[in-house]
Amino acid sequence: MACDVCVAGCGNGIQEVGEECDDGNVVDGDCCSSACLMEPAGTACDDGTRCTIGDQCSAQGRCEGEADVATTCFAADRSVIKIEDQAGSSRDRLRWSWLGAPVSSSDWGNPVLGTSYDFCLFDLNAGTPTLAVSAQIDGGFGWSPRVAHGWSYSDSAGRSDGIQKLRLMTGVSSKITLKANGVYLRLPGPASDAGYFTQDPGVVAQLRNSAGACWTSSVSGSLVSTREKFLGKSP
């Protein structure tokens, strides 16, 4: 954490003599205590994403949770996941589309008034999930209603973990499209030389919101899977 005029002492974001950590605040429960001491491993915390459960402090002072693939979600009839992980993070790309049965307006919530969204992408290895990508969009900024059809989020700078566009549309069927680009997008890098994901047996993408709704899609095969690119469709 940088500051224009730094004042010595706990909470300034600079680890100083006598401090084990300094995360820029004097709040307990975030793995760096109000006295700038590392909280014991196993202390409950919140890592800030709905993509994990059981969040607790690690021995290194990080708040970490276990990847959590939600089981009560609206399932996709069709879906596409596309990733381009190029040299230089400004060229990174992620696309996800979800098409399924219509949902009610109450499931979308009201993001203009505060409903927030999390995007979670899991890679399965022998059925055990690893959180590959997580991104969060708060309610308010960037959101606008699509008259009688849903909601639209837009931020050309991609300040919410790289997400530039998110469309939530309903009608005869419901459709979700997500577009993320650039330096704020955190991609995992390739799982191996054999392909971008392990995919044993697949890759799962989910969108969850603070209203308690979830949309999911699963891709078990891939049309393209290299160290730099992934393209998968379902069915």
Model confidence pLDDT, tens digit, residues 96-145: 999 999 998 899 999 999 999 999 999 999 999 999 999 999 999 999 99
* Statement to judge: residues 87 and 62 lie in one domain: no
* Statement to judge: residues 61 and 82 lie in one domain: no
Boundary residue ending a domain (69, 87, 113)? 69
The range of the structural domain enclosing residue 4 comes to 1-69
* Statement to judge: residues 87 and 203 lie in one domain: yes
Boundary residue ending a domain (46, 69, 92)? 69
Model pLDDT, residue 171: 87
DSSP assigned state of 40 = P
Whether residue 212 contacts residue 103, with contact meaning beta carbons closer than 8 Å, is answered with no
* Statement to judge: residues 27 and 101 lie in one domain: no
* Statement to judge: residues 2 and 116 lie in one domain: no
The model's pTM: 0.90
Model pLDDT, residue 6: 55
* Statement to judge: residues 131 and 178 lie in one domain: yes
Instruction: Tally the domains of the chain.
Output: 2
* Statement to judge: residues 49 and 85 lie in one domain: no
Question: Span 10-25, mean pLDDT?
Answer: 93
Boundary residue ending a domain (39, 54, 69)? 69
pLDDT tens by residue, 57-99: 999 999 999 999 999 999 999 999 999 998 877 899 999 999 9
In which band, very low, low, confident or very high, does the pLDDT at 1 lie, cut at 50, 70 and 90?
A: very low
* Statement to judge: residues 60 and 85 lie in one domain: no
Give yes or no for residue 31 having a pLDDT over 90: yes
Whether residue 216 contacts residue 76, with contact meaning beta carbons closer than 8 Å, is answered with yes
Assign 232 to helix, strand or coil. strand
Tokens of 204: 């799962």
Model pLDDT, residue 95: 98
**Chain-centroid distance, C-alpha 84:** 17
Whether residue 200 contacts residue 167, with contact meaning beta carbons closer than 8 Å, is answered with no
Model pLDDT, residue 116: 98
In which band, very low, low, confident or very high, does the pLDDT at 4 lie, cut at 50, 70 and 90?
A: low
* Statement to judge: residues 29 and 81 lie in one domain: no
Bridge-partner residues for 227, per DSSP? none
Give yes or no for residue 5 having a pLDDT over 90: no
In terms of C-beta distances under 8 Å and separation of at least 24 residues, what long-range contacts does 194-199 make, across chains too?
195/222, 195/225, 195/226, 195/230, 196/83, 196/85, 196/225, 196/226, 196/227, 196/228, 196/229, 196/230, 197/123, 197/132, 197/222, 197/225, 197/230, 198/123, 198/124, 198/125, 198/130, 199/123, 199/124, 199/225
* Statement to judge: residues 48 and 152 lie in one domain: no
* Statement to judge: residues 101 and 176 lie in one domain: yes
* Statement to judge: residues 10 and 48 lie in one domain: yes
pLDDT tens by residue, 178-225: 999 999 999 999 999 999 999 999 999 999 999 999 999 999 999 999
**Radius of gyration of the chain, Cα coordinates, nearest whole angstrom:** 19
